[in-house]
Amino acid sequence: MKRPIGVTLLALGSGLLALFEIYRMLLFLGIVSFDYGIGQSVSFKEAQWGQAFWALLLAGIWFWEAQGFWRVRAYAYSFGVFMAMFTLIWGFFAVLGGASSYEMETIPWLLALGILLYLQYPGVQQHFIKSEMDRLTPEQREAYEKMAAANAAAAKVK
């Protein structure tokens, strides 16, 4: 299987998002601090368990996405679109509600936006579809072709 360079970059971007979520989890647990670069820093004296758990959950999801992109699996395409949009929207509302800052959300926004834009690029979806079709056994391929023929015949009847 030939993996396109863009799909490799998708896996890398998802892995970076997962690592950032691990960093965010450590921040919420009070282990590390976040420095804005202008003299202010964010740190927690007590662990913020809810946010730390949420960051750990998102890290696990992004690692799973990275694995799916690396293996060029079809679920990674559809779920990658969902997770990239979710990351953008969640970050926006976190900033809007005061739970986060622009500085803290910039890295996830840029990575998620890059992933989303690449996934929407024409022809990218076909790499994932072809990869899944190549994994089918001859019996599965025959069943798929029969199903496609039956669907085409049903569409003509209407």
pLDDT given for residue 114 in this prediction: 95
Report residue 21 as tokens.
């979520």
| CA nearest to 86, candidates 52, 111, 121, 103 | 111
pLDDT given for residue 47 in this prediction: 86
* Mean pLDDT value across the chain: 89
Q: pLDDT tens across 58-116, in order? A: 999 999 999 999 999 999 999 999 999 999 999 899 889 877 778 888 889 999 999 99
Phi, psi of 41 (to 5 degrees): -140, 155
pLDDT given for residue 36 in this prediction: 65
pTM attached to this predicted model: 0.83
Q: pLDDT tens across 42-60, in order? A: 777 888 898 899 999 999 9
pLDDT given for residue 59 in this prediction: 96
pLDDT band at 38 (very low <50, low <70, confident <90, very high): low
Q: Is 62 exposed, middle or buried (0-12, 13-18, 19+ CB in 10 A)?
A: buried
Q: Which residue in this structure is represented by tokens 């998002």?
A: 17
Mean pLDDT of 17-31: 92
pLDDT given for residue 2 in this prediction: 74
pLDDT given for residue 30 in this prediction: 87
Report residue 102 as tokens.
């622009």
Q: What is the CA radius of gyration of the chain?
A: 20
Q: Are 80 and 62 in contact (CB under 8 A)?
A: no
Give me the amino acid identity at 96: L
Q: Are 25 and 52 in contact (CB under 8 A)?
A: yes
CA–CA separation, 35 and 78 (whole Å) = 35
